[in-house]
Amino acid sequence: MTRKIAVADLRVGMYVQDLNCGWMDHPFLRKEIELTREDQIARIRDAGIREVYIDPARGLDGPGQDAIDAEREIEREMIAFAEAEQPQPRQTSFREEAETAKKIQGEANRLIRDLMQDVRLGRQIDSERIEPVVENITQSILRNGGALLSLCRIKNKDDYTFQHSVSVCGLQTAFCRALQMGHEDIHEAGIGGLLHDIGKTRVADEILNKPGRLTEEEFAQIKCHVVESRRILEQTPGISATAVLVAAQHHERHDGTGYPLGLKGEEISQMGQMAAIVDVYDAITSDRCYHKGLEPNEAMRKIFEWGKFHFNPVLVHAFTRCIGIYPTGSLVRLESDRLAVVIGQCEGNLLQPLVRVIHCARRNRPLPPQELDLSRPGAGGDRILRYEKPEAWGIDIALLLA
């Protein structure tokens, strides 16, 4: 049985199965480590990791909590929180917004690709090109956030940097909306999200596009992108201080274990703290050459768990309100034994999202797509029983959301 233990309790002879942190928050080549030397434990501790998962079947056991019990405890906390919260209302339906959102995402992907190419060539960013694109994203999120956020799951590995930037823009915008910020703040936060990784244009392509985990030296180089992002944006006319903070602080951590400045708690701006959560969520749900992305529900459970140390727990709760207990793109089994993909959050209850029924689990066969708002009587009293793994059913979620 895998066990979650404090890093302080690690001993030589244990087998770390999961370092329990975001992919870009540790310098190790793999997330699994057989502990044979004390310096390995020191490196884990120095990376700011507080808790890890060990496999007693492959190494020594230690004090801690069984992984399944830890997972259930986190899920209970999330459900208790969700029962007391009310999601933001939608202005349009998912179906009405979906096609518009797809066009907006395509336009934003092309824009950030062009902007990064301009910076590589030594040209200055044209902020006037950014304004209308981010405004379109903002308006789409305000109308129905689920439509655009559902597209965040669809990424091409070769275009990850561009698509990640657009996803962070959309997520940061939705996050601001959940906190009921004003339109101007939402807009500026979106600009910061779109440009938060612009400093990666200063990182060598062979490092940025390496098909595998980075070495420690490469990891140190890529961490410099945050400083470069800040420098580029501060030198760009028309870019607000709010947008700069998003880019400059998205790798800082609430417990002081982040970079580049190791800021802690309220030393980090609210926008920076929010960007840290958004950046990690999108990163860990994305497929990369060296790892398979987590399902949205697993990622939200990790964000909730890391809220004890790395993130501001108040903002983690707000992000949960924004994304939902059953995030867009999750595959769920309904009480009726049908499988459905979550396509948005309902106005009445975070535990009763908007879903698209696609498969009969009992007979293991596709069904004609049917949208259900589980919060309404018309859903026939159907409710979610549990999450399902898409690969177990041969279901391609990205294809369904495209």
Edge to edge, what strands does the sheet with 33-34 contain? 33-34, 15-18, 51-54, 3-6, 65-66
Cβ of 272: how many Cβ atoms within 10 Å?
21
- In the predicted structure, residue 86 carries a pLDDT above the cut 60: no
CA 229, CA 225: separation in Å to the nearest integer?
Answer: 6
Interval 21-31: pLDDT, tens: 876 666 676 77
Rounded to an integer, the average pLDDT of 212-227 is: 86
Rounded to an integer, the average pLDDT of 21-43 is: 82
Share of the chain above pLDDT 70, in %: 93
Rounded to an integer, the average pLDDT of 294-300 is: 89
Interval 187-197: pLDDT, tens: 999 999 999 99
Rounded to an integer, the average pLDDT of 93-117 is: 91
Name residues whose C-beta falls within 8 Å of residue 307's C-beta, 6 or more positions apart in sequence: 313, 316, 317
Rounded to an integer, the average pLDDT of 289-315 is: 87
- In the predicted structure, residue 259 carries a pLDDT above the cut 90: yes
Edge to edge, what strands does the sheet with 331-334 contain? 365-373, 354-360, 338-344, 331-334, 384-387
Query: How distant is the alpha carbon of residue 60 from its chain centre?
Result: 33
Report pLDDT for 320.
Answer: 86
Rounded to an integer, the average pLDDT of 241-261 is: 95
CA 181, CA 85: separation in Å to the nearest integer?
Answer: 17
Rounded to an integer, the average pLDDT of 257-279 is: 96
Rounded to an integer, the average pLDDT of 4-24 is: 89
Report pLDDT for 226.
Answer: 96
Half-sphere exposure of 212 (CA within 13 A, CB side): 4
Rounded to an integer, the average pLDDT of 386-397 is: 90
Report pLDDT for 290.
Answer: 66
Rounded to an integer, the average pLDDT of 223-231 is: 95
Share of the chain above pLDDT 90, in %: 54
Secondary structure tally for the chain: helices H, strands E: 14, 10
Amino acid residing at 194:
L
DSSP secondary structure string for all residues of 266-305: GGS-HHHHHHHHHHHHHHHTS-BTTBPPPPHHHHHHHHHH
CA 370, CA 357: separation in Å to the nearest integer?
Answer: 5
Of 263-267, 284-288, 297-301, 336-340, the least confident = 284-288
- In the predicted structure, residue 256 carries a pLDDT above the cut 70: yes
Report pLDDT for 173.
Answer: 95
Q: What is the CATH number of domain 94-323?
A: 1.10.3210.10
For the chain, what's the residue count?
402
* pLDDT-based confidence at residue 347 (cuts at 50, 70, 90): low
Rounded to an integer, the average pLDDT of 313-335 is: 89
* 357 neighbors 334 (Cβ within 8 angstroms): yes
* pLDDT-based confidence at residue 229 (cuts at 50, 70, 90): very high
Question: Taking all residues of the chain, what is their mean pLDDT, rounded to a whole number?
Answer: 88
Residue 109, H or E segment: helix 94-120
- Which of 29-38, 239-248, 282-291 is most confident? 239-248
Half-sphere exposure of 363 (CA within 13 A, CB side): 7
Report pLDDT for 274.
Answer: 98
Report pLDDT for 335.
Answer: 93
Half-sphere exposure of 305 (CA within 13 A, CB side): 25
Query: Is the Cα torsion angle 296, 191, 221, 209 positive or negative in sign?
Result: positive
